[in-house]
Structure 1
Amino acid sequence: MKQSIFIADDHPILIKGLNDLLIEKKMNVIGFASDGQSALNFIFKYKPDIAILDVEMPNLTGIEIAEECKKNNFCTKIILITLHKEIDLYLKAKKLNIYGYLLKEFALEEIETCINSVKNGIPYFSKNVKDYIGFTDENNSILKKLTLAEKRILKLISQHKTSKEIGHILFSSPRTIEKHRSKIITKLNLSQKSGSLYKWVQKNKHLFN
């Protein structure tokens, strides 16, 4: 039996585009909504296998709908589509066990691959999202190479502290902090160019919150 798919977005053109594409691919689209509350009501009533939700909708966001589904232990697998490229939104989606995450500009070209992955119980987080936000799942494992002192230094760099300020906080000389920074650059395999560590930290500061 084909899995049931529901689509919610406040842009009629995108709904039509997704629906036409999925129908062409012989998928089972059972309903639509153009606002978050209607989407949540539909999911509560019909419990579709997959719900494709826009993050930004009137009344309720896709994230808020996902929170409600998780709270009520619904089995509906949620795919979020969004214009936003912020790391915080991406990480929140992962914490909610979202099954798919796509940027709107790539939604039509990626949705079939995403749905097929989700059907098999495999989450699909678009590489395009990771490229835009500069995040890779490998970064968490990279940090395991660092000492506690080196991680503290990275956290302080993420707070825009200079080597002198970091030294004062950690009771070390600026020269010692510079040595630590050099070791961190080597461990992270970064360029020796000035500013490369700072740029890396700003891209990945979610790791130090």
Structure 2
Amino acid sequence: MNPHIIIADDHPLVLKGLKDFLIEKNFNLLASAKNGKEALTLIRAHLPDIAILDIKMPFLTGLQIAKKCKDENLKTKIILMTFEKDEKIYNEAKALKIYGYVLKEFALDEIENCISSVIEDKPYFSPELLSYIEFNEVPEKIKSLTGAEIKILRLVGENKTATEIAKELFISSRTVEKHKSHIRTKLSLDSKSASLYLFAKENSKFL
């Protein structure tokens, strides 16, 4: 199936590059738009199978267009293009059941795979984006720790002893040991003294 496609981007060079690429690959390109308002008008007029939209455009963003299409029950599948590896935007896109999310620096490498995937009714998200979000997502186990426990874990990662930690936090070293024991339980770590230190080192950017 050769889907009907419209594209929208407020950067003339990006728009031209995408247009030329889709034509060269024999995709059925119906029209292109330079802003969100034009893009929505084109979607309503042509009801294309796919709309490839820049996330940030004047008048309406790609996400706002996706929301309007959803509210109006339009069947066009939305693919968003962006430079941003932003977890909040990614989550909004998923909530709106957006079909594709492609990072602009890889757009021409990925857009063909993305379209093929979307035609088969499978969402496509840039692998680069997914690995970035997974890498920057706070591990579930850490979320279960209290503020005091996170502080202690951070200091353990700095190779501080229970006595040094106690001094720094104005608590007794017995309280520190108690906290460490709770942290180990929550993180399912064994009681070897190094296990806590290694975990803290590996996850230091989340502490």
Alignment TM-score > 0.5, same fold: yes
Equivalent residue for 2:165?
none
- Deviation string 1:56-95 (CA, Å, 9 cap, x unpaired) is 0011100111111111111100000001111111111111
Equivalent residue for 1:89?
89
What's the offset of the Cα at 1:190? 10
Alignment of 1:30-49 (within 5 A): 30-49=30-49
Supply the AA of the counterpart residue of 1:28: N
Q: Is the 8 A contact 1:101 1:125 kept in 2?
A: yes
Equivalent residue for 2:145?
153
Q: Is the 8 A contact 1:190 1:197 kept in 2?
A: no
Using structure 1 for the length normalisation, give the TM-score.
Answer: 0.75
Question: For 1:191 and 1:27, how far apart are their aligned partners in 2?
Answer: 55
Question: For 1:185 and 1:30, how far apart are their aligned partners in 2?
Answer: 56
Runs (5+) with no aligned partner, structure 2 = 154-174
Alpha-carbon distance change, 186 to 5 in structure 1, aligned in 2, over 3 angstroms: farther
- The secondary structure found in structure 1 opposite 2:57 is coil
Query: Which structure: larger Rg?
Result: 2
Q: Tell me the C-alpha RMSD between the 2 structures.
A: 3.2
Equivalent residue for 2:156?
none
Q: Which runs of 4+ in 1 moved over 4 A?
A: none
What's the offset of the Cα at 1:174? 4.3
Q: Is the 8 A contact 1:190 1:196 kept in 2?
A: no
Equivalent residue for 1:207?
none
What's the offset of the Cα at 1:177? 3.5
What's the offset of the Cα at 1:152? 3.0
Supply the AA of the counterpart residue of 2:14: L
Question: For 2:29 and 2:196, how far apart are their aligned partners in 1?
Answer: 47
Q: Is the 8 A contact 2:189 2:196 kept in 1?
A: yes
Q: Percent identity?
A: 43
Supply the AA of the counterpart residue of 2:202: S
Using structure 2 for the length normalisation, give the TM-score.
Answer: 0.75
Runs (5+) with no aligned partner, structure 1 = 165-172, 203-209
Q: Which residue of 178, 181, 200 maps to 2:180?
A: 178
